[in-house]
């Protein structure tokens, strides 16, 4: 095994992206990884007419800036990898040109389509043939919306590339479809790990535009000569990492065994466990769980929860009205607000789309007969307590469906910088929370690159490296009686 490996990870979340250098010293599980952020940028969707889009050309340009900054800063990465959110995609024509900006998953074009497709094909069949949680933005519903609208893009498309693969294509010229992100489409068979071409044909979708999945850890190409010339950088190998950011985040969970529970905490909260096989039981369907592909051909049995999007949207609206507060200030105001006054179901679909979040939260509380939070601190407290209680409900369901019992919860991602949420989560669970690392997705991205380069034999060695390299913060549960009472009330409200 070689020493002194350097890799470059591009990690794009729903609200921001970053380019991060990873430097590995040592060998195998005893190695130490250091990370250096070299570029960070906002990821802001664009409303054009009735549709909400990603600003794809700017995102590609930000990645190019990240390459340039890496070499200007004196780093010499051997490889790079890209991870992003799931479900969204771009379409290429026969000349390899992009057919318009990709739609944003929060666009309302898919409203009502879960019910429509379940009515046509049956909820049980769709779950059995995908293992995926029913979320209105899954790729299958986006494609069905385009088909219903008579979009000419589907007629012109030769290739569908999910977002990380689309970015990779314009840097390397290579077209791939990485497995972990492909599973978010709701069009991959969970057992065969191949496309459900029969269902595609029934939906009237052109099956030929879907490339066969490539598994994480595969070296797939290099920066093109044109990109190297444009950026004045040498050629760098490209690795297909766990391109779904949650797959990368779970790869970075510093667990010491194979049975653990995790929460990837950011704009979305994704809570679950890692399994060798998908879980397609009737109870998994009833819980609306998902079986997404993981690194090493594993599966992530988890639940998507609305997450800190609720807080981000409130802050955006308050900022626009001149009531600007930093996130730390809002958290301090929440800590000072009265406890357990009102709760929301974070996954109520009214919270999915942008705009009006504080009023939506007030409306939910009013409709459920609870005190209406009026101040910023009261609203933020309502969000954070509700998320923590939702995490408990979800973890209990994960334990029940998987047949496992977990001694605590690993939290990774940017959301763990919110110490109040971490503390609330431990209190709600009545179990310890182990928080870290913050840059979970970027680190997991790096680990898979390093595995592809031969620095680690397996995920056990890679996770041992994470434990060696990054400090964890442990939050022990407190006030468990009060939180138990709050949990009982929360469940009554969200099940009403």
Q: Is the peptide bond before 437 cis (omega within 30 degrees of 0)?
A: yes
Q: Measured between alpha carbons, how far is 41 from 60 in angstroms, rounded to an integer?
A: 11
Q: Measured between alpha carbons, how far is 320 from 316 in angstroms, rounded to an integer?
A: 6
Angle at 412 between CA 439 and CA 40, to 5 degrees: 25
Q: Which helix (H) or strand (E) segment is 222 a member of?
A: strand 218-222
Q: Measured between alpha carbons, how far is 325 from 376 in angstroms, rounded to an integer?
A: 9
Identify the bridge partners of residue 273 per DSSP, sorted by sequence position: 261, 301
> Quick one: DSSP state of residue 373?
P
Q: Is the dihedral of CA 154, 189, 307, 410 positive or negative?
A: negative
Q: Which two tokens stand for residue 330?
A: 């809002």
Q: Is the dihedral of CA 248, 217, 215, 205 positive or negative?
A: positive
Q: Measured between alpha carbons, how far is 81 from 26 in angstroms, rounded to an integer?
A: 21
Q: Is residue 165 annotated as part of the catalytic site, yes or no?
A: no
Q: Measured between alpha carbons, how far is 168 from 158 in angstroms, rounded to an integer?
A: 17
Q: How far is CA 465 from CA 30, 408, 471, 495, in A?
A: 6, 21, 12, 42
Q: Measured between alpha carbons, how far is 384 from 84 in angstroms, rounded to an integer?
A: 25
Spatial contact of 21 and 75, defined as CB atoms under 8 Å apart: yes
CB neighbourhood size of 490 (10 A)? 23
Nearest one of 246, 261, 257 to 399, comparing CA atoms: 261
How far apart are the two ends of the chain, measured CA to CA in Å? Answer: 58
Spatial contact of 10 and 17, defined as CB atoms under 8 Å apart: yes
Q: Measured between alpha carbons, how far is 224 from 429 in angstroms, rounded to an integer?
A: 49
Nearest one of 318, 322, 365 to 340, comparing CA atoms: 365
Q: Measured between alpha carbons, how far is 426 from 478 in angstroms, rounded to an integer?
A: 8
Q: Where are the beta strands (DSSP E) in 31-98?
A: 32-42, 46-48, 51-53, 79-83, 89-92
Catalytic choice (107, 245, 345, 347): 245
Supply the residues annotated as catalytic: 245
């Amino acid at each position: 095994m070689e020493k002194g490996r350097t890799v470059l990870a591009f990690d794009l979340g729903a609200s921001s992206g970053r380019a991060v250098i990873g430097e590995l010293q040592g060998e195998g599980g005893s190695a130490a990884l250091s990370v250096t952020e070299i570029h960070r940028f906002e990821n802001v969707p664009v409303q054009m007419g009735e549709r909400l889009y990603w600003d794809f050309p700017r995102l590609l340009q930000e990645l190019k800036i990240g390459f340039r900054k890496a070499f200007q800063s004196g780093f010499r990465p051997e490889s790079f990898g890209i991870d992003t959110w799931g479900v969204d995609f771009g379409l290429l024509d026969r000349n390899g040109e992009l057919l318009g900006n990709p739609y944003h998953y929060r666009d309302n074009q898919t409203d009502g389509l879960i019910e429509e497709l379940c009515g046509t094909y049956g909820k049980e069949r769709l779950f059995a043939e995908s293992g995926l949680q029913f979320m209105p933005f899954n790729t299958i519903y986006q494609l069905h919306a385009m088909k219903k609208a008579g979009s000419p893009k589907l007629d012109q498309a030769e290739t569908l590339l999910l977002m990380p693969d689309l970015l990779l294509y314009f840097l390397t010229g290579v077209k791939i479809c990485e497995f972990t992100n492909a599973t978010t489409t709701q069009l991959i068979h969970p057992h065969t790990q191949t496309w459900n071409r029969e269902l595609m044909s029934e939906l009237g979708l052109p099956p030929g535009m879907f490339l066969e999945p490539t598994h994480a850890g595969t070296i797939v190409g290099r920066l093109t000569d044109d990109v190297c010339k444009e950026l004045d950088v040498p050629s760098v190998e490209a690795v297909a990492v766990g391109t779904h950011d949650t797959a990368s985040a779970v790869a970075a969970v510093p667990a010491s065994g194979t049975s653990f529970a995790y929460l990837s905490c950011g704009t979305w909260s994704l809570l679950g466990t890692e399994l060798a096989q998908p879980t397609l039981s009737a109870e998994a369907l009833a819980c609306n769980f998902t079986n997404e592909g993981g690194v090493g051909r594993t599966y992530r049995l988890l639940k998507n929860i609305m997450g800190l999007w609720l807080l981000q949207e409130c802050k955006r609206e308050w900022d626009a009205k001149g009531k600007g507060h930093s996130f730390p200030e809002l958290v301090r105001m929440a800590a000072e607000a009265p406890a357990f006054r009102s709760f929301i179901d974070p996954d109520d679909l009214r919270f999915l789309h942008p705009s009006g979040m504080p009023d939506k939260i007030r409306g939910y509380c009013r409709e459920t007969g609870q005190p209406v939070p009026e101040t910023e601190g009261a609203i933020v407290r309502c969000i954070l307590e509700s998320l923590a209680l939702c995490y408990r409900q979800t973890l209990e369901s994960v334990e029940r469906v998987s047949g496992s019992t977990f001694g605590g919860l690993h939290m990774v991602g940017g959301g763990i910088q919110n110490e109040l949420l971490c503390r609330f989560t431990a209190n709600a669970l009545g179990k310890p929370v182990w928080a870290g690392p913050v840059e979970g997705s970027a680190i997991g991205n790096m680990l898979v690159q390093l595995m592809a380069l031969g620095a680690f034999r397996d995920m056990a060695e890679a996770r041992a490296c994470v434990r060696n390299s990054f400090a964890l913060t442990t939050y022990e549960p407190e006030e468990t009686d009060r939180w138990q009472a709050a949990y009982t009330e929360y469940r009554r409200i969200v099940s009403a």
